[in-house]
Amino acid sequence: MKFLVSFFLLITSLAVAAPKNVVLIMADDLGFGDLSCFNSDSAIQTPNIHRLAEQGVKLTSFHVNAVCVPSRVSLMSGQYTLDCEEKPHAAKNGIKQNVSLLPELLKNAGYATGGFGKWHLGNGEGDHPIDRGFDEWFGFYGGWIRYKYEQAKETHIRHIIPEPHMQLLYEGKEVSDEPWEHMTDLLTDKAMNFVSENKDQPFFLFLSYNAPHGWLYHEMHPEYSATDEWVESVKTKYKLPDETWEQRNLIDYIAVTEHMDARIGDLLELLKKQNLDEDTLVLFMSDNGAITPEFYYTLYASGNNGGLRAGKAVPYEGGIRVPMLLSCPSAIAANETVSGFTMGVDILPTILDFADVPVPPTNGDHPLRGVSLMPYLEQPQKPISPREAFFVNNGQSGVCVIKEPWKLVNLKQRVGANTDLATNEGPTDGWLLFNLEDDIGEQNDLSKLYPEKTDELLGFWEDYNRSVGREMK
């Protein structure tokens, strides 16, 4: 009997001990239509990301902010940008110190935390990833970095960009002088080391690629971002010519995206080899929509937003609806789709809920805006209740208010360079109203037809601004 009790306790403790690891993989500027699991017309081959869709749940109405910084603010805080920025643009000013970030909450719960790649949420005193909950950090602070060592060094030395530190890599808080061949390989290798070193305890891995990002290849840096080998492979596989800027940029975009997928495959394989794959929640997402050929930097873009209006930097669906996949065989459904409205602020509570860490009802000065998606990941048929959602670009250059199926859009300024070439979006004449159920392409402004609906959504926005002590602009 004593033996049986001990045996039972042992089994129970083993069952309890299975670590609930979290691997959050973020692509930079990958469009809603770039992955074949979201858009069957996409030719880019990403079998490893596709496998996450087969093993897990695909969110087809997942929304984020249209540019990197506010999108990452919401991801890390579970809050809207205006809830937790002292001054607009957290890339420079950081997130309010009384707002707890995802790595801090997981670290406090006993998780080993490692971040690799793009941060873009400040690097001043108190804002550095190491100050905000990461035990280990290897990456860069700015919005982008060149893929190859020689390219990054050259850009850094020439001070092409106003903040030269943006082309430097940091290990912890120290500049790393370690040369590298390709950023995608460097970041994946560092992330895989972190997994191997922490396999016996719960860990949180944030792998934040600089890939694919827009305008990879243009006259400012006219060398391929991809290696010669990948370029040749893509040219041969897709029979692509390489005579024009557009053609070469397309080759580059496909090559870096497919290589990111291949390295994600290596990471997933490592989880399997370490027997961690069943109980690890793997999330794959993009931080905002793609820069597309017809929008923004006309000649230098190859992303695909799957026919949605516009792309990165504006709050039409092409800028804010992005790919999102979650997989964990032991905890959530397989090969399912959740089509209800979900958003970036939901990721923090979802991860905490998965990890059995209490979800705080407030964060900083305001109620937590995100909700846990775990109930819908376990039972994808469960309907998600519509709620008011607000997406605001840096400095409020673009705002949208969504309560499905309705959406209000206000764009204050034209965005993107080479504006003479781009057929990009200009400022709106006040607020535009769309019904996403009938018009996902946002072509028919219904604001004059349904003024009461326009007022209702505007009222949500005004109430929200008042609640965070902001004046309406």
Nearer to Ca ion, 38 or 209 (CB): 209
Nearer to Ca ion, 95 or 328 (CB): 95
The residue within the footprint of Ca ion, chosen from 288, 298, 350, 372 (CB under 5 A), is 288
Q: Least distance (Å) from Ca ion to the CB of residue 301?
A: 13
Q: Least distance (Å) from Ca ion to the CB of residue 213?
A: 7
Nearer to Ca ion, 261 or 287 (CB): 287
Segment interacting with Ca ion (CB under 5 A) among 37-45, 244-252, 255-263, 280-288: 280-288
Q: Which residue minimizes CB distance to Ca ion?
A: 68
Q: Under a CB-based contact definition with an 8 Å cutoff, are residues 100 and 358 in contact? A: no
User: How many chain residues touch Ca ion (CB under 5 A)?
Assistant: 5
Q: Least distance (Å) from Ca ion to the CB of residue 354?
A: 25
Q: Least distance (Å) from Ca ion to the CB of residue 241?
A: 29
The residue within the footprint of Ca ion, chosen from 127, 131, 287, 317 (CB under 5 A), is 287
Q: Least distance (Å) from Ca ion to the CB of residue 393?
A: 12
Nearer to Ca ion, 287 or 346 (CB): 287
Segment interacting with Ca ion (CB under 5 A) among 77-85, 284-292, 375-383, 416-424: 284-292
Tokens of residue 136, six digits: 């280990």
Site map for Ca ion, 235-274, x if CB under 5 A? ----------------------------------------
Contact between 131 and Ca ion per CB under 5 A: no
Q: Least distance (Å) from Ca ion to the CB of residue 118?
A: 8
Site map for Ca ion, 25-44, x if CB under 5 A? ---xx---------------
Q: Amino acid identity, residue 204?
A: F
Contact between 292 and Ca ion per CB under 5 A: no
Name the phi and psi angles at 101, rounded to 5. Answer: -100, 160
Please write down the HEC assignment for all residues of the chain. CHHHHHHHHHHHHHHHHCCCCEEEEEEECCCCCCCCCCCCCCCCCCHHHHHHHHHCEEECCEECCCCHHHHHHHHHHCCCHHHHCCCCCHHHHCCCCCCCCHHHHHHHCCCEEEEEEECCCCCCCCCCCCCCCCCEEEEECCCCCCCCHHHHHHHHHHCCCCCHHHHCCEECCEECCCCCCCHHHHHHHHHHHHHHHCCCCCEEEEEEEEEECCCCCECCECCCCCCHHHHHHHHHHHCCCCCCHHHHHHHHHHHHHHHHHHHHHHHHHHHHHCCCCCCCEEEEEECCCCCCCCCCCHHHCCCCCCCCCCCCCCCCHHHHECCEEEECCCCCCCCEEECCCEEHHHHHHHHHHHCCCCCCCEECCEECCCCCCHHHHHCCCCCCCCCCEEEECHHHCEEEEEECCEEEEEECCCCCCCCCCCCCCCCCCCCEEEECCCCCCCCCCCCCCCHHHHHHHHHHHHHHHHHCCCCCC
Contact between 68 and Ca ion per CB under 5 A: yes
Q: How far apart are CA 286 and CA 341, in angstroms?
A: 16
Nearer to Ca ion, 66 or 112 (CB): 66
Q: Least distance (Å) from Ca ion to the CB of residue 80?
A: 18
Q: How far apart are CA 399 and CA 315, in angstroms?
A: 6
Q: Under a CB-based contact definition with an 8 Å cutoff, are residues 254 and 234 in contact? A: yes
Segment interacting with Ca ion (CB under 5 A) among 62-70, 96-104, 123-131, 289-297: 62-70
Q: Least distance (Å) from Ca ion to the CB of residue 321?
A: 14
Nearer to Ca ion, 34 or 287 (CB): 287
Q: Least distance (Å) from Ca ion to the CB of residue 287?
A: 4
Nearer to Ca ion, 135 or 425 (CB): 425
Nearer to Ca ion, 127 or 287 (CB): 287
Q: Least distance (Å) from Ca ion to the CB of residue 296?
A: 12
Nearer to Ca ion, 208 or 288 (CB): 288
Segment interacting with Ca ion (CB under 5 A) among 31-39, 270-278, 283-291, 459-467: 283-291
Buried b (16+ CB within 10 A) or exposed e, 28-47: bbbbbbbbbbbbeebebbbe
Q: Least distance (Å) from Ca ion to the CB of residue 70?
A: 10
Nearer to Ca ion, 29 or 425 (CB): 29
Nearer to Ca ion, 123 or 288 (CB): 288
Nearer to Ca ion, 68 or 377 (CB): 68
Segment interacting with Ca ion (CB under 5 A) among 45-53, 68-76, 83-91, 182-190: 68-76
How far from chain centre, in Å, is Cα 202? 23
Q: How far apart are CA 92 and CA 71, in angstroms?
A: 15
Q: Least distance (Å) from Ca ion to the CB of residue 462?
A: 29
Q: Which residues bind Ca ion (CB under 5 A)?
A: 28-29, 68, 287-288
